Structure 1
Amino acid sequence: MRTQSLWEHTLTFFPQFLAALREHASPDATVAVIGASDGKFVLPLAAAGHRVIAVERDPFALHGGEVDLPGDGRARAPGLMDRLESEGLRSRVQVVEADFLSAALPGASCDAVWTSCSWHYSANHHSPLADFVGRMQSLVREGGLFGAEFMMPVEERHASVEHYTSPERLARHFGDDWNVRLTLRTNRFTERPHIGRPHDHTHRMGLFIAARAAE
């Protein structure tokens, strides 16, 4: 990639999702990325030959703009649209600029769906976690993959918010028509400053990958 995501160096389980995708889907599979941000996951998927549906409602993530950098610096960051054009990948990505829960999306037409640390943001707490999980599930065709990495509780206040979840609690949303393929979790770890978090901060993360059963 000639361009770089603002989130390029943050921890992710995305390689584990890619490995599962290679096992379950063709190289030109359709993958929906929920909370596409500036394309940290969208661009690698498109560059690998996949057709991508990128869902994002934040104008800054989509179109870029000025950002405050750790250390009192400022810079212009490219958005998803800029990066797709720069990398020559625009034709492989359908960008949906809308709230995920109300967006017009094709049901049961994706080979896989992926989200990274999207539903724990306070702006999404107006809807139950089950709404996000259920809508993601509805996009996946038979034999397709559901993949999510998410923040787990760290502070006491997180324990009362269902959106800070765990692999075990997520599994309750998956019935007999789903097979859980992989769950992982980290211990507490310290992440370095990045956009929106100017100081060292502590996280715990989980991964949940499931496959919809094929009839």
Structure 2
Amino acid sequence: MQTQSLWEHTLTFFPQFLAALKERVAPEGTVAIIGAADGRLVLPLAAAGYRVVAFERDPQALHGGEVRLPGEVDAHAMGLIDRLKLEELYDRVRLVDQDFLDAEPLGTLCDAVWTSCSWHCSANHHRPLAEFIARMQLLVRPNGLFGAEFMMPIDQRHHSIEHYTSPERLSRYFTSAWTILLTLRTGEFTERAHVGRLENHTHRMGLLLAARTPR
């Protein structure tokens, strides 16, 4: 890639999702990304041959703008749209500039859906976690793949917010219509400072991958 995402160096379980995707979904399959940000995960999927539906409503993530980086450095960040055009991938991505929980139905099912630490954001706390997961599940065709990485609780305040969760708690949202393929978790780790969090900070993260059973 010619450009670099603002989130390039943050920890992700995306390689595990990508491995499962390659096993289950042929190139030209459609993958929905919930919370596309500036395209850290969208661009690699499009470059690998997948069609991507990218849900993102943040204007700065879509169009770029001025950001404050660690070290009190001000910089211009390139947005998702310009990154896609620069990489000549724009035609492979359908952008949905709406709140995922309120977006109109796509009109088609996807081969896979993925979200990276989006439902724990405070902007999504006004709706139940079950609703977020159910809407993701509705996007997936039979035999399709569901993937989510998410923040697990660390501070006491996190334990009162259901959106900070665990693989065990998430499993209850997956009925017999689903097969859970993989769950993982980290211990506490220190994430380097990045845009939006200008000091080193502590996280715990989890992963859940599931496949929709055939009809």
TM-score in same-fold range (> 0.5): yes
Distance 1:21 1:6 in 2: 24
Q: Counterpart in 2 of 1:198?
A: 198
TM-score under structure 2 length normalisation? 0.99
Q: The residue matched to 1:18 in structure 2 has which SS?
A: helix
Q: Counterpart in 1 of 2:209?
A: 209
* 1:145-173 deviation per Cα after TM superposition (whole angstroms, max 9, x unaligned): 00000000010100010000000000000
Distance 1:17 1:66 in 2: 31
Are 2:34 and 1:34 equivalent residues in the alignment?
Answer: yes
Quote how far apart the aligned CAs of 1:27 are. 1.1
* 1:33-82 deviation per Cα after TM superposition (whole angstroms, max 9, x unaligned): 00000001100000000000000010010000000111111110000001
Quote how far apart the aligned CAs of 1:108 are. 5.7
Percent of counterpart pairs with the same letter?
A: 67
User: What is the RMSD computed on CA atoms of the aligned residues?
Assistant: 0.7
* 1:151-205 deviation per Cα after TM superposition (whole angstroms, max 9, x unaligned): 0001010001000000000000000010000000000000110001111100000
8 Å Cα contact 1:107/1:140 also seen in 2: no
Structure 2 unaligned residues grouped into runs of 5+: none
Distance 2:25 2:161 in 1: 34
Alignment of 1:110-125 (within 5 A): 110-125=110-125
Structure 1 unaligned residues grouped into runs of 5+: none
Quote how far apart the aligned CAs of 1:107 are. 5.4
Q: Counterpart in 2 of 1:146?
A: 146
Alignment of 1:62-211 (within 5 A): 62-106=62-106, 109-211=109-211
Distance 2:188 2:139 in 1: 32
Structure 1 residue ranges, 4+ long, deviating more than 4 angstroms after superposition? none
Q: The residue matched to 2:198 in structure 1 has which SS?
A: coil
Query: Mean alpha-carbon deviation: is it higher for 107-116 or for 144-153?
Result: 107-116
Quote how far apart the aligned CAs of 1:106 are. 2.0
Q: Counterpart in 2 of 1:18?
A: 18
Distance 1:184 1:163 in 2: 17
TM-score under structure 1 length normalisation? 0.99
Distance 1:32 1:104 in 2: 14
Q: Counterpart in 2 of 1:9?
A: 9
Distance 1:9 1:108 in 2: 33
How many pairs were matched up? Answer: 215
Equivalent position amino acid for 1:68 in 2: R
